[in-house]
Amino acid sequence: MSKQVVVGVCHGPRCRDYGGLTLAAQLKCQGMAVETLGCQSLCTYSPIVRLHDRIIHRATLERTETAADAPGRRYCLPD
């Protein structure tokens, strides 16, 4: 049985502008549980992802998957 990865994605204004909402949708599409986070006061490095006790600066889908040790793609239809 695999353990589901829970990822926090900042939905603060700066991270939204830099793709936080799209990243959250992509991570959900990959089967990760996504939590909505408020501004993490790291706006310079947006978008911000929190994974366990780690912060991922300028997060992308690829960087988050690598950090979560959950590589692999699922096919997802856009909403």
E strand or H helix at 24: helix 20-29
Q: Does 12 bind ligand FES (CB under 6 A)?
A: yes
* Closest distance to ligand FES from the beta carbon of 58 (Å): 11
Would you say 8 or 32 has its CB closer to ligand FES? 8
Residues within window 27-66 making contact with ligand FES, judged by CB under 6 A: 39-40, 42-43, 46, 48
Q: Give yes or no for a contact between 48 and 10, defined as CB atoms under 8 angstroms apart.
A: yes
Residue of 5, 7, 8, 15 that binds ligand FES (CB under 6 A): 15
* CB nearer ligand FES, residue 20 or residue 65: 20
Residues that bind ligand FES (CB under 6 A): 10, 12-15, 39-40, 42-43, 46, 48
